[in-house]
Amino acid sequence: MSKYVKNLISGDILRRLDGVSDAILVNVIGMDSGSTYQIRKTLRDKNIHMLVVKRSMAARATEGTSLRPMFDGREGSMAIVWGSEDFVSLAKEIAAIDKAKTFEKFEVKGGVMDGDALTADQVKAISKWPSRVEQISILIGQVLSPGATLLGQLLSPGGKLASQLEKLVEKLEGDAPASAPADAPAAEEATPS
């Protein structure tokens, strides 16, 4: 392949990976086209992209970027997977596909997160972390917990006081003399004649 063609391919890879800082490498080589289509469709539905590249071309294209470390020590063709809401969600999806063994030759090879190369085991370990949405819900729970405790402490004395007043009213109503029913005729007063 001429240098001109290599530069064109490298430029296309770099354009596709523009803005990507974290990604996962997987093996899809040797899979039939139907399986590859199913994986791509599954990933596309979750806003995840996959690009099959030759390692040397991808390394050349990502030179000077945070993605470059994931190609060190690798050989041959592989697929770069990126996208999703955050890296943990991406790792969860890829680990789920790998664990399901629906696609025999699909295998996690490694990745890169925050410019640091990851092994396949590290990617699988990251897939067990809470995702961005889960972390936000945990944080909101921690922020709201003291407020809920304070609200309970403020309302508790008022609730106790209301309960005691209600019991006092019931007791006083029980001790009051029985009065004549409202619909009974009033006794006629005797008038002197």
| Residue-range domain boundaries for the chain | 3-129, 130-166
Cα dihedral sign for 96, 101, 102, 103?
A: positive
Q: Residues 30-37: what's their mean pLDDT? A: 88
pLDDT exceeding 70 applies to what percent of the chain? 91
- Evaluated on CA atoms 41, 44, 50, 52, the torsion sign reads positive
Burial of 35 (0-12, 13-18, 19+ CB in 10 A): middle
Q: Provide the CATH number for the domain formed by 3-129 in this structure.
A: 3.30.70.1730
Ramachandran area for residue 148 (φ above 0: left; ψ -120 to 50: alpha; else beta): alpha
Distances (CA, A) of 41 to 26, 48, 49, 154: 16, 9, 10, 54
CB-based contacts of 98, cutoff 8 Å, min separation 6: 26, 106, 107, 108, 124
Whether 175 has a pLDDT exceeding 90, the answer reads no
pTM: 0.68
Mean of the pLDDT values across residues 84-109? 88
What count of other Cβ atoms lies within 10 Å of the Cβ of residue 23? 27
Question: 82: which 2 tokens?
Answer: 């990126």
Q: Between vectors from CA 14 to CA 53 and to CA 119, what angle results, nearest 5°?
A: 55
Q: Is the pLDDT of residue 157 over 60?
A: yes
